[in-house]
Amino acid sequence: MKILVADRISPIGVDLFKSEEGFEVIEAYGSTPEQLLEIVKDVDAIALRSDTRVTAEVVAAAPKLKVVGRAGVGVDNIDIEAATDAGVIVMNTPTGNTLATAELTFTHMLAGTRPIVQASASMTAGRWDRKLYTGSELNGKTLGVLGMGRIGAEVAKRAQAFNMTVLGYDPYLTESRAKALGVTLSTLDQVIENADYITTHMPLTADTKHMLNADAFSRMKDGVRVFNCARGGIIDEAALIEALNSGKVAAAGLDVYEDEPPAADSPLRQIENLVLTPHLGASTQEAQENVGIDVAKQMIEALKGEMVRNALNMPSLDPKALAQIAPYLTLGEKLGTFSQQLAPEGVEKITIRYFGKITELDTLPLSYAIQRGYLREISDNVNDVNAPKKIARLGIETEQVKSSAHAEFTELVEVQVTSKSGKTRTIGGTLVGKNQSPRIVTIDGHSVEVSTDATLLVLKNKDVPGIVGFIGVTLGEDNVNIANMSLSRDQGEGFAVSVFELDSVPSEAAAKKIAEHTAIDKYRVIRL
């Protein structure tokens, strides 16, 4: 594999790439856009900082590209949408500079609460203005954190140490995660309308650009304090200036800007109750070293097919959460593949239901695995990155439902596909034994137990004698061995569901013979 290191990162990180067998490292610092288009033609991964831009044109020029890794947090120099369409993982390294950025954010919050910057300038000028610089206290205030990733979580932790109530907004924040962090899961509107302090820790995207605009400021509390150590552009600077000048915002702090650096005559530089720093979030010795090492480790893991960490266009969990959900991922992919092959024509909805203890986990990666499995037989170049988009482009809605209990299983993952005509097929699976082996345990409400590592012959047949024998003889004549079988009878309807695990796929002649049997209502060969 070829790894392009497009910007300077820690030499230790570069050495990590070089130490991997089969990895070739290309160091091309300061390449022009034209040079970059030529270099990326056969690269598998790009490691960069903020200088190199990975545009849609770059992605298109790199057919082998699998991973783009940012040594740092901000990824506004990467076209994430183009990368996602191409199935390219985009990751950053929030861990390496997490503490540095969280500490800077809290420094800004303290400086916006107690005007120490202004007081220091006054002292330097020879004045003694005690009454002029009366501040406030963090104690008992409500902090709204926009973006509850690692940095947001660290800021929330420090705020709680100051006896602040924390409201957390993040599209990917689960109730269980919020509870673990001691944070009240909130909507964006709830944060805007109820917080005394607001800090942003989100990437700059089409959805987050000017998230805090004139309308948002108008709905905030009078005297609110606002801070941004994430990405410039999340706050509408013109609206912030107006809110500061009107007194709506009592104080603010910025480490990032819409244009960097701000113009020498920028109005931002003229406001006394606005503290400015020159993009110092990751500017500690420890952070600079860490992000280079982290990006190399993460990219190596992803390229070797291991767990993907800190991805921005697919689910990404901390190591503990990943370890908890990992055993279910194979099951999920198999359920998706099974449901697609069993589905009626014209599927318009996939409903994923979780029952039991698994509902306590972040199931989004599992839902992605199910969607990836659904697409396996009908689409090329599918991975967790682009599976949701590909599903949506097929006109298929995806829904997740969680329930704490199930009548028969401690844990169950169920995938239901629904056609435009209202027909449904439902497949359920779980993990069994000490090895947590994935099993198919329900088909349309019928109890079965089937391996997920096999070719399956699935029948709906009249519950009459001779069917098993007929299938055995037919497959035997076709030289297809039956490894296992599972039968489920429905006394009320007079039908049975039969599943045969096969060592190989039956021939067309054998399939035709099975289909023509008068007692067999439906059959499918499922390739797992």
CB 401 within 8 A of CB 383: no
Q: Is there a catalytic annotation at residue 231?
A: yes
HEC secondary structure over 201-244: CCCCCCCCCCCECHHHHHHCCCCEEEEECCCCCCECHHHHHHHH
Sheet strands (E) in 332-490: 347-356, 397-403, 411-419, 424-432, 437-443, 446-451, 455-462, 482-490
Q: How do beta strands 184-185 and 197-200 pair?
A: unpaired
Cis? peptide before 33, omega within 30° of 0: no
Q: Which long-range contacts (CB under 8 A, 24 or more apart) does 512-517 make?
A: 513/474, 514/457, 514/459, 514/471, 514/474, 517/461, 517/467, 517/470
For residue 65, the one-letter residue type is L
- Which residues, listed in sequence order, are joined to residue 249 by a DSSP beta bridge? 224
Token duo for residue 374: 């659904």
Give the active site residue among 38, 260, 272, 408.
260
Give the active site residue among 114, 279, 489, 517.
279
- Tokens 């921005």 found at: 312
Coil, helix or strand for 393? Answer: helix
Give the active site residue among 231, 309, 353, 446.
231
**Dihedral sign, Cα of residue 219, residue 221, residue 223, residue 227:** negative
- Which residues, listed in sequence order, are joined to residue 526 by a DSSP beta bridge? 456
Chain mean position to CA 278: 30
Distance (Å, rounded) from C-alpha 45 to C-alpha 264?
Answer: 38
Alpha helices, H only, 75-200: 80-85, 98-113, 116-124, 150-161, 175-181, 188-194
**Nearest CA to 459 among 485, 498, 428?**
498
Coil, helix or strand for 30? Answer: coil
CB 405 within 8 A of CB 356: yes
Q: To 10 degrees, the CA torsion angle through 377, 380, 384, 387? A: -80
Q: Is there a catalytic annotation at residue 260?
A: yes
First to last CA, the chain: 29
Distance (Å, rounded) from C-alpha 123 to C-alpha 108?
Answer: 20
What is the gyration radius of the CA atoms in the chain, in angstroms? Answer: 28
Q: List residues with catalytic annotation.
A: 231, 260, 279
